[in-house]
Structure 1
Amino acid sequence: MARWGIGLAIVALVAIAVAVGIAAQRIPSFEELKKSPAGQTVRIHAADGTIFFSLGPNYGRWLTLRETPRVMQDAMVAVEDRRFRYHPGVDPVGLARAGVFAVENYGSGRRMQGASTITQQLARNVFLSNSYTWSRKLREMVLAMALEWKFSKDEILELYLNKVYFGGGSYGIDAASRRFFGHSATDMSLSEAAVIAGLVKAPSRYSPTADAQAALGRAGVVLNVMVDAGVITRAQADAAKPADVELAQETGQNSARYFTDWALPQLDMLIDEGNEPIDVYTTIDLDMQRAATAAIQANVPSGVQGALVSLDRDGAVRAMVGGSDYVASNYNRATQAVRQPGSAWKLFVYMAALEAGYKVDDEVVDEPVTIAGWSPRNSSGRFAGPMSLRTAFAYSVNTVAAKLGSEIGFSAVANMARRFGITTPINTHPSMVLGSAEVRVIDMTAAFAAVARRGVSVHPYGITKVTTADGRLLYQRKPEGGQQLVDSWVAAGITDLLQTAVNTGTGRAAQIGRPVAGKTGTTSSNKDGWFLGFSSGLTTGVWMGRDDAKPVGGLQGGRAPAKAFADYMRIAVARRPVEAFDTEVKLPEWQLEEDDGAMFGAPEEDGLVDENGMPIELPGMGLPPDDGVAPPPIDDGPVLDQQWIEEQTGRRRSPEGSGGPKTVQPPPARPAPPAVRIPPARAPQDSAAGEVRP
């Protein structure tokens, strides 16, 4: 029997040796194992470079054993595998203890403990799953011995320290140190090493951010084990104070997830697919994001949702709030929801009117009007009679907006909205002038930002740069000049009106102690409340309402939304210089002519125009002068490209090889309205006098 036992043992040893040899040949090289496993790591940086969110596993920087503090090495070996330097990958003493434990607890359902060496843990993390079966345990032992056969102890320890899981999505000591302490593992103290080493046994249970007391208790155990192993003295252990360790401040914000949910899907269009870790640098300003979240939460009525988008002058998204609480609802109302804008839509009505020849001081009449069977009314229930265009806009007078839309054409209003980036369906019913078409918050904010940019288009963006973990550039956003959407005098005129709406009109609650231009919006039965405006190069749009579109008592654009705008903007622009608005309207010559001088088809300095005010190019026009020398081009910045506008609004198909931009020839001047001075006593007094009631 003894011979049979010895023979079987020899056969088993030979079989194990063969298995270990085969496994050793199949194990990748040390350099290949240093690479991160499948599963892309995406680290998202704020505008100041701070990492505020990560997706996928986080591996930090690879640290060689020489770069790793000795206290970290000693702590990990002492607590996880004290005989690491002496066993062949499997610890016989540990196996014996595990066997005793298994016999004593047979039938109890408790798992075998104390048998996994550092090498076995490495084999499990790299090659196997965490499922607990005897076959997996046997494979783990074979792979551990193969690792010991192929690599040195220092190489195994380096692999282990850079790949073991410490919780919070962090793999490796550098990722863990940055996650919990805010600095690289190269600067780790004894106390910090004890906290990190204590995480391996149960990362979720001993995480210092989840249960500080449990983490401190486990760190104390690690220090005692290190004393027992002889790697530190009792005096050093007593001097270490894990309770005094400073944990890294949590930079992540729940509301910032609205921004990342919107921005990160754009990576598919910016870079090629890959599995290597990447760093995504974004436009979000964490201080502004906090201010935006606080402003929405402090002002949104109970049971109501709120959204906010804040754009810098070039379209960089500095803050985005898609709801009152991301945890409760991750539906992004800033980019996905479509809601009626109410009187905020009058931005496009009045810009179309200004472009058609109206001036901000022209007289209009607030009076009952019926258009195709539709009779708009003002929320005040009154009619104020003659007033200036500026006053009508400031108090959001509905009848005047309806008359303007009827005169200039509802299609002109729709085309203006299309020009400024509204992509949702737009009808041309008379009531559209009061904001019956549904829009997105981010699109309306971009439209107002284009006005702030003197009529140049603004395209919101959130990603500025993408690199690999080692700094190799994958994408860099190039500056965009933008498209001139309206002439500068139209932008100046509407800015004049927007500033008046905040100074004396329905948007007074949005004042912040520096120049602000903006517009309120309220829909029928107070289902939606809006305020959109800009100051000091920053444009912000705020929306509030219920997801089910039920009425909300007291919800008006000039109240909670305007107040949220002001609360946010006071903080957001605090460090920016005060900027005065360019409201000086330099009218083109065609607006300064006498009425009898404007004739259809009359030769002008710039040529002929048709009944729509569009330039007519006759055969032979555009030829160089007789001397054959063309004048040098004059670069005055972005120009109004009428062909591009018509293509964007669907009025013209984009031909192949289309020509360059052409400056718009404005239409003939409209007849001047009668000069009637507004009686001061009849001016609207109600700040909400013109809120939308379509």
Structure 2
Amino acid sequence: MNTQEKAWLLRQRRDRRNRARGGASKTLLQMAGGLVVLLITGFVLTVVGGIAAAAGVYGYYAKDLPDPGEIVTRQEKFETTKIYDRTGEVLLMEVIDPRHGDRTMLPLEQIPEDFRNATIALEDKTFYTNIGIDPVGITRAFLLNLQGKGVQGGSSITVQLVKNILIPEEERYQVSYARKIKEAILAMEISRLYSKGQILEWYLNTNYYGNWAIGVEAASQVYFGKHAQDLTLAECAMLAPIVQYPAMNPIDNPDEAKKRQGIALERLRDEGYITRTEAEAAFAEPMQIHSSMLKRYDLVAPHFAVYVRKQLEDRYGSEVLYQGGLKVYTTIDLEIQRIAEEEARAQVAKLKEQGEDVNNAAAVVMRARTGEILAMVGSLDYWNEEIDGNVNVAVAPRQPGSSFKPFSYVTAFHQGHTAADMVMDVHSCFDDYPNPPYCPENYDREYLGPRSFRSALAQSRNIPAVKVLDMVGVGNVIRTAHAMGINTLNQDLDYYGLSLTLGGGEVWLLDMVYAYSVFANGGTMMGQPTKLARTGYRQLDPVSILRVEDAKGEVREEYKQPEVRSVVLADGRELSPQEAYLLTHVLSDNNARAAVFGSNSALRLSRPAAAKTGTTTDYKDVWTVGYTPQIVTGVWVGNNDNTPMEGVSSSRGAAPIWHNVMERIYNEGHAQRILGEVIDNFPRPPGLTTVAVCAVSGLLPNQHCPNRVNALFIEGTEPTEYCNVHHVERVNRQTGKLATACTPPELVEERVYEIYPPEAANWVRQKGIPQPPTQRDEIYGCSPEGGEVVIVDPSLGGHVRDVVAIRGNARSGDFNFYRLEFGEGLNPSAWSQIGGDHYNQVDNDVLEFWDVRGLNDGLYTLQLTVVDHSQNFRRATSYVTVDNTPPEAYVGYPWPGRVYELEASDEWANLAADVRDNVQIDRVEFYLDDELVDFSVVEPYAVKWVLQMRDLRPPDRNMQPVMETRTVTNPDGT
């Protein structure tokens, strides 16, 4: 017997003595006094009428109350809730109250003392000493009510028992003082009539602990697969808090359940039941959650039925759900559900026959213009424990791969970018300090160079998608996803980074389908108001329930027409119909994706449809989400235990399911039956225009653009500039250098060059794309004044160091002498002469040697002056940059002194350098054992080291890689 129970027995003996002295009238006065505390009117009542007034209040409320003795029989009265399909003809689930089937009543002595103590510490720490109510808690609640903070509780264990058993259902959830007074009277009466042990036994056997578990024995079996008497302290602390929030249980919400276990252990410690050491040991104890529910009842569309059951419980509470006799008409269409189940099972079976390690799939079908869920396949087999079949993957967090990319691109369209904009698909690295540089790769490990936003998205190129995300901002894309329907991605922005657009955050399949419905609806969201609206998140929810009737046949709720909401993005502006249509136009462009997926891929339907695939880097998740104007379907394929499906891409795994489900919905007449009028084409909003652009740059074509395309634009975003990629240069075909005004015309030819942004320099070099010469014609060098006075080398804007040979022409008809001078900056205020005056003419030869070693780094102007005998002169100028300071460089990645164990599938390692220079970097070369690996001219400087067998060795923890930095001097002195 514990201390609390001993104290209770002593009080019972004392109370019996008091009752013997004072009789029943004494007891009545004690209960009336307790009622006075409940009302916080004790002071007033004492002043105006004292105990008699309190007794009067008691009598007023007690006259119509049920007999407290009915607490034994009331537990047997209930009516089940039935959940049907949308027709009301097929029963999906009968929600049986487990108290009348699975519940096992336990005597108090078979309930672990730790469980009893945890319950009392959490729910009613004065249980053994109070009179059925907690006066202190009631007083506190009343004061909060007076402050305008709503009608608060203060319920004791006995009051909760009364509420759940004796208070009529229609009153149970009313917020009123009258109900609370009735509960208090009954609680005090029951506390007088029955022992604390009996009350606690009833309470622990009738509480709801989530997942159909009523009572501690059922809860113990559901969550731990053992009898309650075998529960450990840690397990007791995990179960006891569930009664407060049944959804926060270790199956459905393990993280929150763990937090609440910690709170329970703290309360047990604070109340003196356990020591700090025992609490810490219990919290550290691994939990073996028995996560597979027993197959208690036959279910149709089981994951959907359970999903609806949880929604009903959230809206009406567990007591109404289990005993209220509700009749629920859901949105599920069993014909479409059947199609989704058949296609998912058939495709996974096909993959397994091909030897692929895949065992599960999920699918959601939704009516876009109402938000109604028409089908939900949470797994291939709800009852298959080997695949964790009871887990509903449709509402479980999974990484979406590239199916997340549309949120990045539609954010870009919202910011004024266009589907014709050029983005470079080249090897790129992004600084991610203090982590290694982030270097995304395409699925095919190839780099295609210039891509339009349209082709980059349609062909699912990863590197362009990361660059688009970098342009528009990670935070903006997350806010777009939230506003369109994604309820996850709730970590800080730094948590996600640029991998977000490749599916680096976890989302629900149901949320993805709902978000894509915004595209299908032309930028608007349709559904029912969300229960917990959050700023910046979606304001509507998908719909799973059409109508709820109570046991009397009265309608409790009914979904007749969808709410319609605009989607407000991060800048406070609404997602426009034009932006949504442009995104749809890209995702439905079969020609744009054909180069990668083929012209007859699974993404192509027999009617207009937009679709996007997604495959995670490790092949753990493959997705396809797509839509017609009225139907949205999302498919996931994978393994619940995260086992990789080596080589199974979305095109092989999820896309065939999506294709077949969509085709069958239309071809078998289900779309006509559900929708009535079938809309074939996506409605095109006004405010769009088509313009011919350069196929490469996306700008207005100049005369040198080889290919032109007609591109769709939102009005106001059409290009106004001409192509900046295709340039013409005049070249001396004999020397290959830029022609000058003095180059003979017969040697000059015009050549068209493709000039790409600096970020593409490495790709341009590797592809061997011709670039314009950087040097001007020296043989026929001349100046604007006839070529007799000109500085040829160093070239205009060049870089110099050490001692520089200055070459050029210094000639005239009445030549006397020439001199060379330099000054700091573009417009020097003072000049310094280089060498002396020279009295010999120079024709394309060395004019002077300039020693710059003592000069500060920076920009300088060179001036050549030729003077004739009449003191007439002509001048030529040029400017150069003096760069005497070598760059600082160190290997940024791999980090020195570390051993790296690469995955078997890794084909290369990224090498990165952190290089700084006060002027300019020409290139950074990477060497392995004195052998050049590659070089980069693009910051951040990184290259790929293609791994060969000779480069690999077993890991040696004592091995210290040698890494050093060398400065390379070019032949020109830079």
Q: TM-score, normalised by structure 2?
A: 0.36
Q: Say what the alpha-carbon RMSD is for the aligned residues.
A: 3.5
Is 1:529 matched with 2:611?
no
Tell me what 2:578 maps to.
Answer: 489
Distance 1:253 1:482, change over 3 A: farther
Q: Distance in 1 between matches of 2:399 and 2:551?
A: 44
Q: CA deviation at 1:393?
A: 0.9
Q: Distance in 1 between matches of 2:516 and 2:629?
A: 13
Q: Distance in 1 between matches of 2:717 and 2:609?
A: 33
Tell me what 1:380 maps to.
Answer: 444
2:411 is aligned with what amino acid? A
Aligned counterpart for 2:365 among listed residues 310, 321, 329: 310
Q: What are the residue-to-residue correspondences of 1:224-373 with 2, within 5 Å?
A: 256-271=301-316, 273-274=319-320, 275-300=323-348, 301-302=351-352, 303-313=358-368, 314-328=370-384, 329-372=388-431, 373=437
1:143-177 CA-to-partner distances (Å, cap 9, x unmatched) read: xxxxxxxxxxxxxxxxxxxxxxxxxxxxxxxxxxx
Contact kept? 1:309, 1:542, Cα under 8 Å? yes
SS at match of 2:486: coil
Contact kept? 1:361, 1:389, Cα under 8 Å? yes
SS at match of 1:509: coil
Q: Distance in 2 between matches of 1:461 and 1:673?
A: 49
Aligned counterpart for 2:88 among listed residues 30, 49, 56: 49
SS at match of 1:307: strand
Tell me what 2:664 maps to.
Answer: 571
Greater strand share, structure number: 2
Tell me what 2:68 maps to.
Answer: none
2:639 is aligned with what amino acid? R
Tell me what 2:653 maps to.
Answer: 560
Tell me what 2:483 maps to.
Answer: 419
Aligned counterpart for 1:476 among listed residues 552, 558, 562: 558
Distance 1:338 1:56, change over 3 A: closer
Q: CA deviation at 1:315?
A: 1.0
SS at match of 1:382: coil
1:468-523 CA-to-partner distances (Å, cap 9, x unmatched) read: 35522122125332321111111001101111269635492133311111100000
Q: Distance in 2 between matches of 1:585 and 1:405?
A: 26
SS at match of 2:374: strand
1:441-492 CA-to-partner distances (Å, cap 9, x unmatched) read: 1111111111111111242121111113552212212533232111111100
Unaligned runs of 5+ in 1: 1-34, 59-251, 592-665, 683-693
Q: Distance in 1 between matches of 2:503 and 2:451?
A: 22
Q: Distance in 1 between matches of 2:561 and 2:635?
A: 27
Distance 1:676 1:540, change over 3 A: farther
1:47 is aligned with what amino acid? R
Is 1:511 matched with 2:604?
yes
Tell me what 1:40 maps to.
Answer: 79
SS at match of 1:262: helix
Contact kept? 1:362, 1:673, Cα under 8 Å? no
Distance 1:675 1:490, change over 3 A: farther
Q: What are the residue-to-residue correspondences of 1:546-557 with 2, within 5 Å?
A: 546-557=639-650
Q: CA deviation at 1:571?
A: 1.9
Q: CA deviation at 1:57?
A: 6.4
Distance 1:501 1:414, change over 3 A: farther
Contact kept? 1:394, 1:506, Cα under 8 Å? no
1:289-335 CA-to-partner distances (Å, cap 9, x unmatched) read: 11011011011243421111111121111000111101114433334
Q: Distance in 2 between matches of 1:312 and 1:339?
A: 23
2:582 is aligned with what amino acid? G
Q: Distance in 2 between matches of 1:675 and 1:292?
A: 50
Contact kept? 2:299, 2:305, Cα under 8 Å? no
Q: What are the residue-to-residue correspondences of 1:653-668 with 2, within 5 Å?
A: none
Contact kept? 2:363, 2:394, Cα under 8 Å? no
Distance 1:414 1:544, change over 3 A: same
Contact kept? 2:614, 2:650, Cα under 8 Å? yes
Is 1:449 matched with 2:488?
no
Larger Rg: 2
Q: Distance in 2 between matches of 1:253 and 1:535?
A: 34
Distance 1:262 1:667, change over 3 A: farther
Tell me what 2:118 maps to.
Answer: none
Distance 1:562 1:676, change over 3 A: farther
Q: Distance in 2 between matches of 1:439 and 1:671?
A: 39
Tell me what 1:118 maps to.
Answer: none
Q: Distance in 1 between matches of 2:379 and 2:651?
A: 20
SS at match of 2:640: coil
Q: Distance in 1 between matches of 2:75 and 2:337?
A: 32
Q: CA deviation at 1:668?
A: 10
2:636 is aligned with what amino acid? W
Tell me what 2:740 maps to.
Answer: none
Q: CA deviation at 1:675?
A: 5.9
Q: CA deviation at 1:255?
A: 5.9
Contact kept? 2:399, 2:503, Cα under 8 Å? yes
Distance 1:476 1:271, change over 3 A: farther
Q: CA deviation at 1:573?
A: 2.7
Contact kept? 1:364, 1:389, Cα under 8 Å? yes
Q: CA deviation at 1:49?
A: 2.1
Distance 1:500 1:335, change over 3 A: same
Q: Distance in 1 between matches of 2:515 and 2:392?
A: 17
Q: TM-score, normalised by structure 1?
A: 0.50
Tell me what 1:115 maps to.
Answer: none
SS at match of 1:387: strand
Contact kept? 1:367, 1:384, Cα under 8 Å? yes
Distance 1:673 1:533, change over 3 A: farther
Q: Distance in 2 between matches of 1:528 and 1:488?
A: 31
Contact kept? 1:270, 1:475, Cα under 8 Å? no
1:522-543 CA-to-partner distances (Å, cap 9, x unmatched) read: 0012111000001241101101
Equivalent pairs, count: 381
After TM superposition, the structure 1 stretch with the greater mean CA deviation from structure 2, 36-45 or 388-397, is 36-45
Tell me what 1:434 maps to.
Answer: 502
Distance 1:552 1:410, change over 3 A: same
Q: Distance in 1 between matches of 2:316 and 2:96?
A: 20
Q: CA deviation at 1:344?
A: 0.4
